Amino acid sequence: MNRKKLQKLAESLCRTAKHFNKIEVECLIKLFHTLVVEPSDRHVVIGLDRNMFRNILHVTFGMTDDMIMDRVFRAFDKDNDSCISVTEWVEGLSIFLRGTLEERIKYCFEVYDLNGDGYISREEMFHMLKNSLLKQPSEEDPDEGIKDLVEITLKKMDYDHDGKLSYTDFEKAVRDENLLLEAFGPCLPDMKNSMAFEMQAFQETGDL
Amino acid sequence: MGVALTRAAQWTSAGSGTGTLEITPLNESLLNDIIKFVESFSSRHPQEAAFVFREPLEWKTQLDYSVFESGYEISATTVQSDERDKDDQPLLLLTASTIRVRSFGQLSRLLHIAMEKKLKEAQACLEANRDPIVKILGPGYGTIEGEDMSMLRLLDRVRKGGDPDTEIKMKIALLLQQLDMQLLNSSLKHISQEVRLTPAAVKNEVDLLKHFSGEGENTVLESLEYTSDYEFSNGCRAPPWRQVHGEICYLIVKPHDTDPLYITCSTAGVFLNGGRGKEKDDIDYERKSDVYKDLITFLRERSAKFVENIVKQDYTFFEEPTYEKHYRHMEIVDAEDLGQSQKFHDYSEKNAFERTKSPPVKSKPIDKKLEPSLKWKNVGFADSRDDKAANKAIKEEKESRPIVPETKKKANILSPGPIKKQSVSKRKVSEKSDEISESSSESEEDEEQPERHQEGNTDLPSEYWQIQKLVKYIKGGNQTATVIALCSMRDFNLAQETCQLAIRDVGGLEVLINLLDTEDIKCKIGSLKILKEISQNSQIRRTIADFGGLQIMVKILDSPDKDLKCLAAETIANVARFKRARRTVRQHGGINRLVGLLDCVPMGSANLTPHQEKDIEVARCGALALWSCSKSTKNKEAIRRAGGIPLLAQLLKSPHANMLTPVVGTLQECASEASYRLAIKTEKMIENLVKNLSSENEELQMHCASAIFKCAEDEETRDLVRHHGGLQPLASLLNNSENKELLAAVTGAIWKCAISRENVTKFREYRAIETLVVLLTDQPEEVLVNVVGALGECCQEPANRAIIRKCGGIPPLVNLLTGTNKALLVNVTKAVGACATEPENMMIIDRLDGVRLLWSLLKNPHPDVQASAAWAICPCIENAKDAGEMVRSFVGGLELIVNLLKSENKEVLASVCAAITNIAKDEENLAVITDHGVVPLLSKLANTNNDKLRHHLAEAISRCCMWGSNRIAFGETKAVAPLVRYLKSNDTSVHRATAQALYQLSEDPNNCITMHENGVVKLLLGMVGSTDETLQEAAAGCIANIRRLALATEKAKYG
């Protein structure tokens, strides 16, 4: 990509991804291009596919849960083309790394709303929490604990008592208790990882 | 169970092959655990119980055919179970005495049948099947040392094919592994209780016994010898291949009354071995007796003569029980906090030298017990620390317990005593000093609250069970589940004691504290949020400290996450409300870190970034924690050394009450130290303290007033308070009489400020004195002490004395003379005395019988009260009408005051001398006190360097000279020579009083001679030149008397 094009792209992205300045956006664009393997076929959209992205999440941000990583990919991939374009990359990272509380609430809700119907249902919760408890062999029903955990969560977060979490419920609960932001599994980088990433991404390219 | 069996169980021959399981308590408990597991297996896991073993477990049984009943097919030579596998083979088959069992179901039935023989059967089974898992599941699952991959293999297989058999196998393997863990754990518990011997301890014991062995009636043994003279570097004498089994050395002991005993000393204890074979060097290492914990216990069992004679040796230190009693006794003396019991434990262990030196870390004995061979690597061959310590212990033992011949038996009994006492008392001293260092501001919270136990399990509240469940999820969940459970726990009313104690009782505190040690910030925050709430409870605070929570929280203070820092500091603030916790915080570097938190942006600057606001919040939390910590003197010092004072001064400029309260609270607490008082003055903190007196927040006002109270002993500080306009807010705060704590602090500040006259003038302007008088009634003692103190200072001004009278202050003051509080009495007497300098006031006091009340305070046991009362009596006598008559009317009053001249307290003596001076103005009274022997008592006091006492004593002497032959009596009781020396003092008031006394005394010729001999003339000649007329006159009069005597003598001589 030539310099002019890069500048132009950076400038436009700078407006949508407001948590990065222009230089940072440029760095991220450059990083994106080092990550993306140039496709042989000109017609294929340029971008990170699911596996590449998951790999980044795993290696750089220490995520382990397959399902959550898929959901994060979906959250980045706004246009649902199973490929993260450079715009999606920069805009996604803007929230992922530096999002305001509100942005992060929205993002997390999107991640947890597995079927995208605007609600986190009991079943979705169960699905996300099912590996969260150590299985006790002594227990008759190993899922008992998970079910109970789901009920506890609902009791805590379901303000309108409709048995599922709407965005309003979720937002209210998180504003009340920030710890509940990632209630159903880690989908944001922790401070250490995000700092390491930013350092690497912005410094390395900054040196150029 | 494989690991437990190979490692923990004690097999007779340590090599491979078919050994037998010894009957030791450890093995027995292992077997019992296994039996319990197998017995309940068929009911708990019916599906797995039916699983057919790969190979039967086969062993020789002692069970009779007849015990088998229904469910078995019994023929002449065989017993077969009705239960059969797929190939129609019986799952249990007994032929001759060999039994083969192929399922857990049958095993558990068999054990049920075996009844009391089940232990034997289980033993035989395990002896014959050293690794039962191989037979049950197949050779792939054999116990492998180190990493066990069998689970992973199984898992793979389960994944690949849905073979139900493999799944069951998997389950069984899991169950067995669980049992294995359980066995290891319980055997560990057993082992850790066991005594382990070390070469050093054995050697020591042998050396000791050797001293008492030999020919003769009274020795404990005839002889005691090692089998080998060669000692390895690790202290063992056993050959290395036996050392592997934990054996240390072999002994041949010849007691008086039995055959020689061949003894093995091993780490497990002492036991009889097979003795020496025909060939000289061949020892039969097989164990032949029970294991004893040490040589002496062993010999006690074996030889009656030994028992008899050892008692004669009076070596009490062999007897552990007496030891322990001894300690317990010592401990009671100073056991005052929980940490103590731990110390006791350490202590008894350190001293019981025949026991193993137990390493301080708990985990260490564990791996030791697991692998005896490893232990030897650690302890023996390598020059490890343990060994050194043990050697050192021997040395110490040798030094401290010299072998004393029998003639000194009695002394010997005690010999171990003093050694211990010494060390105990040393510790006591150090603890004491720590105790002393705690400041007076320690609150009653410090006192241990009696543990309140939940009564019975029946009426446990529902919260209890819900909390228990949540704790389970926290324990067994990943971070997501943990965070959910933590948040849910916060929905309980954590301020309620039931919930607080429920969390503790279900083991939640331990879990919460463990979470603090993890990497996950969200878990830490969640946990701290709960700990912060529940640490309001004093029992919880103690438990948190017991679990080492403070150390971890102190570490968290280094975290980059500000929320986390805040929470940790706030929790520390709650926990550190008792002494031990405060000490812990200090000892782990908490004070430095907390002081570090105080460093934030300059206060009061407008438009702060959210970042800076967060920093300020961190500083606030740091101040909160420091406030709690600052109740210990050593912590005050630590805060100062960590550079806390300038930071606190900085924060003091904050406009926010929630920041100021902890900051001023800390300062106020620390102001008990002179260094802080100086700093508060020099760092210009008075200005801010004064400013905050006008705050809206009463707590803040109180701390400010309290800080001023503590600092205003210093004159400059008092002036600063006035300069910064602090007196008016103080005076107006007097009107807020509802908040008693605030009132106490404010009146205290007024009291101390009123020491300066300028301040008193101001207070009068603000009409504070009238308000103070109102506060003389219906107030708690803390307030009264300060109010009366303040009035006492104000009364130094004549105008104020009138004010007090006019607004009716004297009756309540006199009324307070009947109180009991020492501080209050000292202040009241002072105030009454000051009032009495005004004749009009004195009339009222006299009418209220105030002098009698003052006089009776001379009987108060506190010297401060006595002195203060005596001082107050002086102006009363001076200003009362018919003072002489009044004094005489107090029955026994004169005798009482004269007898106070025997006091040790200089202030009392000076005040009583002053009172006597006044009393002696009345001739009749002077006669009475002379009869009570005032002259010799005064003379006795003459040798003193205290100028105040000198001054009043000289005055008293001079007054008392006025009666009868008292002048001569003073001379005879040798009061004159010391008085002459008073003239060399630097105090002019002493000069004046002394010159007057000398003048009086010089009326007697003998006194003149004594004075002259002591060189009085030269000293008095100097005084004649003084500007003080009274002094001039007295000095001149005295010289004149001396001169006159000289002239008279000359005249007599030369006619």
Task: Say if residue B747 is exposed, middle or buried (CB neighbours under 10 Å; 0-12, 13-18, 19+).
Answer: buried
Contact list, B560 vs chain A (CB under 8 Å): 191
Q: How many Å lie between the alpha carbon of B160 and the closest alpha carbon of chain A?
A: 21
Same domain? For B582 and B526 the reply is no
Rounded to whole angstroms, what are the CA distances from B508 to A75, B502, B556, B813? 37, 8, 20, 57
Residue A144 has a pLDDT of: 83
Rounded to whole angstroms, the Cα distance separating B1050 from B490 reads 105
Residue scoring higher pLDDT (B983 or B13): B983
**A163-167, B360-364, B573-577: least confidently modelled range:** B360-364
B46 touches chain A (CB under 8 A): no
In a domain, B437, yes or no: no
pLDDT of residue B148: 56
3 state SS of B276: strand
**Which residues 878-907 of chain B have a CB within 8 Å of chain A?**
none
Residues B378 and B505 in one domain: no
CA distance B43 to chain A (A): 13
**B528 contacts in A (CB within 8 Å)?**
none
Confidence of residue B755 (pLDDT cuts 50, 70, 90): very high
Inter-chain contact B477–A149, Cβ cutoff 8 Å? yes
> Which of the listed ranges B236-250, B411-425, B798-812 does the model predict with the highest average pLDDT?
B798-812
Mean pLDDT of chain B: 79
Report the DSSP beta bridge partners of residue B74.
B79
CB contact under 8 A, B478 and A155: no
Contacts 24+ apart (CB under 8 A), B943-946: B943/B978, B944/B906, B944/B978, B946/B906, B946/B910
- Expressed as residue numbers, the domain containing B273 is 194-409
Shared domain check, B384 and B351: yes
Shortest Cα distance from B483 to chain A (angstroms)? 7
Do residues B255 and B302 lie in contact, with contact meaning Cβ atoms separated by under 8 Å? yes
Given pLDDT bands bounded at 50, 70 and 90, which one contains residue B151? low
| Alpha-carbon gap: B38 to the closest alpha carbon of chain A (Å) | 16
Bridge partners, residue B262, by sequence: B252
Domain's final residue, options B138, B161, B192: B192
* 3-state per-residue secondary structure call for B671-684: CCCHHHHHHHHHCC
CB B997 within 8 A of CB B979: yes
Among B670, B696, B717, the domain boundary falls at B670
Is B939's pLDDT higher than 80?
Answer: yes
Task: Provide the shortest C-alpha distance from residue A156 to chain B (in Å).
Answer: 7
The domain that contains B558 carries what CATH number?
1.25.10.10
Q: Which residue of A has its CA nearest to B561?
A: A191
Is-contact B315 B321, C-beta < 8 A? no
In the block, tokens 């220490």 appear at: A62
Amino acid B376: pLDDT: 42
Closest residue in B to A182 (Cα) is: B480
Mean pLDDT for the stretch of residues B388-411 = 46
Task: Please check whether residue B787 lies inside any domain of the structure.
Answer: no
Nearest CA in chain B to A135: B476
Contact B265/B247 with Cβ under 8 angstroms? Answer: yes
For the stretch A11-55, pLDDT in tens is: 888 888 888 888 888 888 888 888 876 655 555 557 888 888 999
CB contact under 8 A, B481 and A184: no
User: To the nearest whole angstrom, how far is the Cα of A152 from the nearest Cα of chain B?
Assistant: 7
pLDDT at site B212 = 78
Decide if A180 and B486 are in contact by the 8 Å CB cutoff.
no
More confident site: B638 or B382: B638
- Indicate if B228 and B106 belong to the same structural domain: no
* β-pair partners for B101: B57, B92
Lookup: tokens for A6: 């890069």
pLDDT > 90 fraction of chain B, expressed in percent and rounded: 29
Same domain, B491 and B373: no
What residues of B are in contact with residue A111 (Cβ under 8 Å)? none
Residue in A with minimal Cα distance to B466: A152
Q: Do B491 and A156 touch (CB under 8 A)?
A: yes
Cβ contact (<8 Å) for B522 and A182? yes
How far from B236 is each of A159, B248, B297, B381, CA to CA, in Å?
Answer: 73, 5, 21, 9
Whether residues A177 and B487 touch (CB distance < 8 A) is answered with yes
SS3 A43: coil
Interface check for B484 against chain A (CB to CB < 8 A): the answer is yes
pLDDT exceeds cutoff 80 at B530: yes
B770: in domain:
no
- Better-predicted residue by pLDDT, B321 or B948: B948
- CB nearest B484 (choices: A137, A149, A191): A149
Query: Does pLDDT of B378 surpass 60?
Result: no
CATH number of the domain within which B465 lies:
1.25.10
Task: Domain count for chain B, please give it.
Answer: 5
Residue B577: pLDDT band with limits 50, 70, 90: very high
Check residues B163 and B784 and name the one with the higher pLDDT.
B784
Q: Are B943 and B978 in contact (CB under 8 A)?
A: yes
Inspect the interface and report whether the beta carbons of A185 and B490 lie closer than 8 Å.
Answer: no
Cα-flanking dihedrals φ and ψ of residue B605, to 5°?
-70, 140
Top pLDDT among B264 and B317 is at B264
Flag whether residue B567 sits within 8 Å of chain A, measured between CB atoms.
no
B24 and B168: one domain? yes
Task: Give chain A's length.
Answer: 208
Cβ-defined contact of A149 to B483 (cutoff 8 Å)? no
Which among A137, A145, A184 has CB closest to B174? A137
- The answer for B 450-479 residues in CB contact with A (under 8 A) is 469-470, 472-473, 476-479
Number of H helices, E strands in chain B: 60, 11
CA dihedral B83, B89, B91, B92 (to 10 degrees): 110
User: What does R_g of chain A's alpha carbons equal in angstroms?
Assistant: 19
Q: Do B104 and B18 share a structural domain?
A: yes
- Which residues on chain B are in Cβ contact (under 8 Å) with A182? 480, 483, 522
The residue among A68, A134, A165 with the most chain B CBs within 10 A of its CB, best to mutate, is A134
Question: Who among B470, B478, B483 is closest to A183 (CB)?
Answer: B483
Residues B567, B495 share a domain:
no
Please indicate if any CB of chain A lies within 8 Å of the CB of B566.
no
- The pLDDT value given to residue B313: 63
Judged by a CB distance cut-off of 8 A, whether residue B704 touches chain A is no
Other C-beta atoms closer than 10 Å to the C-beta of B32 total: 14
Residues B252 and B387 in one domain: yes
Residue to substitute from B41, B467, B482, B483, interface A, most A β-carbons within 10 A: B483
List phi, psi (to 5°) of B1042. Answer: -65, -45
Summarised one tens digit per residue, pLDDT across range B25-45 is: 677 777 888 888 888 887 888
Enumerate the residues of chain A whose CB falls inside 8 A of the CB of residue B477. Answer: 132-134, 149
From the list B472, B481, B561, the residue facing A132 with the nearest CB is B481
- The predicted structure's pLDDT at residue B11: 59
Residue B315 is predicted with a pLDDT of 46
Pairwise CB contact (< 8 Å): A191 & B560: yes
Measure the CA–CA gap between B1055 and B1053, rounded to whole angstroms: 6
Is B36 within the bounds of a domain?
yes
Torsion of Cα atoms, B611 then B614 then B619 then B624, to 10°: 180
- Could you tell me if B312 and B392 lie in one domain? yes
| Nearest neighbour of A179 by CB, restricted to B472, B476, B526 | B526
- Global pTM value: 0.61
pLDDT of res. B656? 86
B47 at A interface, C-beta within 8 A: no
* Chain B residue whose CA is closest to A145: B473
B382 lies in some domain = yes
> What part of B 489-518 touches A (C-beta under 8 Å)?
490-491
CA pair distance B641, B558, nearest whole angstrom? 19
CB pairs under 8 A between A and B: 67
Residues of chain A that touch chain B, judged by Cβ-Cβ distance less than 8 Å: 128-129, 131-134, 136-137, 145, 148-149, 152-153, 155-156, 177, 179-180, 182-186, 190-191
Instruction: Give the pLDDT score at B299.
Output: 82
Q: In the structure encoding, which two tokens stand for residue B411, read together?
A: 């002394």
Query: What is the DSSP secondary structure assignment for residue A96, as one 8-state letter?
Result: H
Name chain A contacts of B473, Cβ cutoff 8 Å. Answer: 133, 145, 148-149, 152
Element (H, E) at B250: strand B247-254
Based on the fold, state whether residues B508 and B402 are members of the same structural domain: no
Put simply, the answer to whether B470 touches A153 (Cβ < 8 Å) is no
> Please, what's the largest Cα pairwise distance for chain B?
156
The predicted pLDDT at position B558 comes to: 92
> Which percentage of chain A shows pLDDT scores above 70?
89
Task: Judge whether residue B114 has pLDDT over 90.
Answer: no
Q: Identify whether B778 is part of a domain.
A: no
In a domain, B531, yes or no: yes
Domain assignment present for B601? yes
Task: Measure the CA–CA gap between B482 and B477, rounded to whole angstroms.
Answer: 6
**Of residues B279 and B955, more confidently modeled:** B955
Note whether B559 contacts A: Cβ–Cβ < 8 A: no
Cα separation, A188 vs B753, whole angstroms: 60
Predicted confidence (pLDDT) at residue B575 exceeds the cutoff of 50: yes
The residues that bridge with B247 in the sheet, in sequence order, are: B266
The confidence score (pLDDT) of residue A112 equals 93
**CA distances, B324 to each of A133, B328, B352, B881 (Å):** 47, 6, 9, 72
Most confident of B33-37, B139-143, B793-797: B793-797
Query: Is pLDDT at B8 greater than 60 in this prediction?
Result: no
Which of B192, B225, B241 represents a domain boundary (last residue)?
B192
**B191-220, pLDDT tens digit by residue?**
666 556 788 888 888 888 887 787 777 777
Is the CB of B174 less than 8 angstroms away from the CB of A129? no
Domains, chain A, in order of start with CATH, read: 3-101+189-207 (1.10.238.10), 102-182 (1.10.238.10)
Same domain, B567 and B597: yes
